[in-house]
Amino acid sequence: MRLVVIAVGRLKQGPERELADRYRERFDDIGRKLGFRGLDIHEIAESRARDTASRMAEEAGAIAAAIPEKSLLVALDEHGENIDSTVFSRYLGSWRDQGVGSTVFLIGGADGLSPELRRKARLRIAFGSATWPHQMVRIMLLEQLYRAATILAGHPYHRT
């Protein structure tokens, strides 16, 4: 199964980019051994439209265009489920074992994801009830993907 992160906004060079790259590389190292075919990241430019509805619509169109056909969608959504790392790893392992071709994680911009994209998602997850900048959500997602891979591999990174 290939994993894809489609995120509105770009990570500039600096500590955030370095941390994101570190978790992505760690995932790639362990993920291949577990049957994951890679982790791609697609950055979508933030809309410059003046009103929220137009921004969300423009970003949703760009996100939708980047989603591979027949993908399972996971929306990062502040109103989504709060799940722990072990449950998250079970989802990934289950989808991999079911032969899902691509699992796509969607991270919206400052206004969030469009209602249509949220409805299409098989799973909506939140990283707690706090509001996080979308750049931080990307880093936290990449860490959780790496953590999930270590759980599936029985690696000691995740301690319960």
Picking from 88, 3, 67, 68, the residue whose alpha carbon sits closest to that of residue 37 is 3
Half-sphere exposure of 35 (CA within 13 A, CB side): 14
- In angstroms, how far is the first alpha carbon of the chain from the final one? 26
Amino acid letter, residue 35: G
Helix (H) or strand (E) run with residue 125 in it = strand 123-125
Residue 68: what are its φ and ψ, rounded to 5°? -65, 150
**pLDDT per residue as tens, the chain (160 positions):** 999 999 999 999 999 999 999 999 999 999 999 999 999 999 999 999 999 999 999 999 999 999 999 999 999 998 999 999 999 999 999 999 999 999 999 999 989 999 999 999 999 999 998 888 888 999 999 999 999 999 999 998 887 6
Please tell us whether the domain made up of 2-153 is placed in CATH 3.30.830.10.
no
9: DSSP letter: S
